[in-house]
Amino acid sequence: MELWYTEEHTKNVRFSIKVDKQLVSFKSEFQRIDIFESKEFGRFLTLDGFMMLTEKDEFIYHEMITHVPMAVNPSAKKILVIGAGDGGTVRELVKYDHIEKIDMVEIDKAVVDLCRKFLPSTACKLDDKRVNIYYEDGLKFVRSKYNEYDIVIVDSTDPFGPGEDLFTREFYGNCFNALKDNGILVNQHESPYYEADAIASKRANRQLRAVFPFATVYQLHIPTYPSGHWLFGFASKKYNPVIDLRADIWNNFGIKTKYYNTELHKGAFALPNYVKELISD
């Protein structure tokens, strides 16, 4: 008998991975958490039946959500990460020796605990002395913060369930207040390809543009996400992510990456016409 993980990307499209065994099936207060082992993608994490990461391709997501804002503001010292219970975003941030504080806000402690145990390749830096983990609602946490962070990274799940409040205008407005005068916000923006995902992308970008003086999207390729074509949002009070890229400074850090580089950084903001139309409509 063969065991397969299958995710419905649309009512007409499904994505499947052959599974060797299931390592975790746990129902927390907030969601169902599953971790599987596979030959092709290694271990992978799903929440409520939706793919969050695989060991084989997670580096793409975590490098692009982290190093893009850091290359635009390489002097950033105080970072807020909302979500990111798997630890991959924090793992990338601690590569910067000059970062002084990383506050990570994750609503579901069970995600962190299980990733520490079963996905140590992503959760390996959560005990860094600069990392402060808060197990609470990200929307409520950020309401009380003003002029405190250089960068806010919203590494959230999809815009329903526990992650739904992290796609609202109120939330983005609170993030705006939490950022310093040159602050940057980056968030995951769904896929522009399938209709339902594209609607979510468009809505998220519209909410960002209503709050920040500058807001756009950039793209990356993640094989295990719907369509493989994924977007992140980039919003700032001051910076244009292409014009203000500090490539020389970032490259001098000597940070080892598998996906991100400063040439790719510029190219990621060169969008296909259908994505341009989506976010400009």
Catalytic residue positions? Answer: 155
One-letter amino acid of 145:
K
101-105 and 78-83 beta bridge pairing: parallel
Burial grade of 136 (CB within 10 A; 0-12, 13-18, 19 or more): exposed
CA-CA distances (angstroms) from residue 78 to 127, 151, 224?
17, 7, 31
Q: Any residues with CB less than 8 A from the CB of 274 and at least 6 apart, and which?
A: 192
Distance in angstroms (rounded) separating the CA atoms of residues 236 and 179: 9
| CB atoms inside a 10 Å sphere around CB 177 | 16
What residues contact 254, with CB distance under 8 A and at least 6 apart?
A: none
Provide the token pair at 149: 């962070």
Q: How far is CA 13 from CA 16, 32, 62, 227, 255, in A?
A: 10, 23, 26, 10, 38
SS (H, E, C) 130-195: CEEEECCCHHHHHHCCCCCEEEEEEECCCCCHHHHHHHCHHHHHHHHHHEEEEEEEEEECCCCCCH
- The answer to whether 196 and 10 are in contact (CB under 8 A) is yes
149 and 143 Cβ atoms separated by less than 8 Å: no
